[in-house]
């Protein structure tokens, strides 16, 4: 553009760029660079505003590795701790243990114990250990756990608590606080020797339901008079207010024991409680020993094994 002076006024004359020698090439280069810069900035802006679905714009998410499951539904060895139920007491012969029909580690093909279902028949004889003891209470569990830990099992089953409630009088039942302390000690003992062992904890059976089921059998009532679980089964036909209160007290104590089992187990990432499955199970006369109408028969042991297997192999613990 040129300027000319006409009558004292500056006049601007527009001259085509092409008419100015030497200027066309420089301006064309700068215009092209500017245009390219604009395109780059625009594309960059678009990319910066894109969201890849991770909530962070313009950043590709790095996939995180899948966590290793803590609970193994197919352990290769099983140790059992607990009381007479796990020993198969009164299931085969009167007043005697019968560990081969134990719901946890038995080898009987009719019962098909938890170990039998998990490991198969041959392995049940070589990779299982039964440290339960007839008459055992929760206070005995730490010593049993210490023995189980020496086996280095992949799974430990726990069923104990009935004897803590089955006493001569309700006053002699194990206090809930003592029950908790013993169970916590037992778990610490196991972890000291077998830190990665899984633990399956069975609830204490509903003793009141056992009383209700067996009291209709005359033979059962006579046997109960020998002193089997007197707090619940004593004076089985007595329906007085005092007797009902005694049975309710035992029932409440068992519920409290199960609460302890649930709470303590929940603090251990490798522990699984049965969700009150055994407590809720409605045992029939067929599932009770015909010698004492209290302990599980072979049929009852098989039902316990079914419950345990279902919970041990489930993707998630019972609700």
Q: State pLDDT tens for residues 233-266.
A: 999 999 999 999 999 999 999 999 999 999 999 9
Task: Write down the pTM of the prediction.
Answer: 0.79
> In this structure, what are the phi and psi dihedrals at residue 40, rounded to the nearest 5 degrees?
-60, -45
On whether the CB atoms of residues 75 and 155 are closer than 8 A, the answer is: yes
Q: Which two tokens stand for residue 226?
A: 């020998």
Cβ neighbours of residue 186 under 8 Å, at least 6 residues apart? 81, 138, 141, 142, 144, 145, 158
Give the integer Cα–Cα distance in Å for 248 and 242. Answer: 10
Hey, CA dihedral for 94, 99, 103, 107, is it positive or negative?
negative
Range scoring the smallest mean pLDDT among 16-30, 228-242, 272-286: 16-30
Query: Average of pLDDT values for 140-169?
Result: 98
Q: What is the CATH number of domain 78-312?
A: 3.40.50.1110
β-strand pairing of 9-13 with 2-6: antiparallel
The pLDDT confidence band at residue 63, using thresholds 50, 70 and 90, is low
User: Could you tell me the residue ranges of all domains in the chain?
Assistant: 2-49, 78-312
The alpha-helical segments, DSSP class H, found in the chain are: 24-49, 114-119, 121-126, 141-150, 162-165, 176-193, 207-214, 218-224, 230-233, 241-266, 277-280, 298-312
Q: DSSP state, 69? A: P
């Amino acid at each position: 553009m040129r300027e000319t002076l006409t009558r004292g006024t500056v006049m601007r004359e527009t001259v085509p760029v092409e008419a100015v020698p030497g200027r066309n090439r420089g301006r064309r280069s700068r215009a092209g660079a500017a245009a390219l810069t604009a395109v780059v900035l625009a594309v960059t802006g678009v990319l910066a505003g894109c969201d890849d679905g991770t909530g962070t714009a313009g950043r590709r998410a790095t996939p995180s590795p899948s966590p290793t499951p803590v609970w193994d539904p197919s352990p290769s060895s099983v140790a059992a701790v607990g009381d007479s139920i796990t020993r198969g007491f009164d299931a085969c012969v009167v007043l005697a243990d019968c560990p081969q029909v134990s719901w946890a580690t038995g080898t009987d093909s009719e019962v098909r114990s938890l170990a039998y279902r998990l490991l198969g028949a041959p392995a049940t004889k070589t990779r299982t250990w039964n440290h339960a003891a007839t008459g055992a209470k929760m206070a005995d569990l730490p010593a049993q756990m210490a023995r189980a830990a020496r086996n280095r099992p992949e799974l430990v089953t726990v069923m104990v608590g009935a004897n803590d409630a089955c006493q001569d009088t309700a006053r002699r039942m194990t206090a809930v606080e003592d029950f908790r302390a013993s169970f916590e000690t037992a778990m610490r003992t196991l972890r000291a020797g077998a830190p990665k062992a899984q633990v399956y904890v069975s609830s204490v059976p509903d003793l009141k339901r056992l009383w209700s089921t067996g009291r209709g059998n005359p033979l059962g009532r006579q046997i109960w008079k020998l002193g089997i679980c007197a707090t619940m089964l004593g004076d089985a036909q007595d329906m007085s207010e005092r007797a009902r209160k005694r049975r309710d007290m035992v029932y409440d104590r068992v519920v409290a024991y199960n609460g302890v089992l649930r709470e303590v187990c929940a603090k251990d990432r490798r522990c699984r409680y049965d969700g009150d499955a055994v407590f809720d199970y409605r045992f029939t006369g067929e599932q009770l020993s015909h010698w004492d109408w209290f302990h599980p028969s072979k049929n009852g042991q098989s039902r316990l094994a079914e419950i345990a297997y279902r919970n041990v192999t489930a993707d998630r613990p019972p609700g």
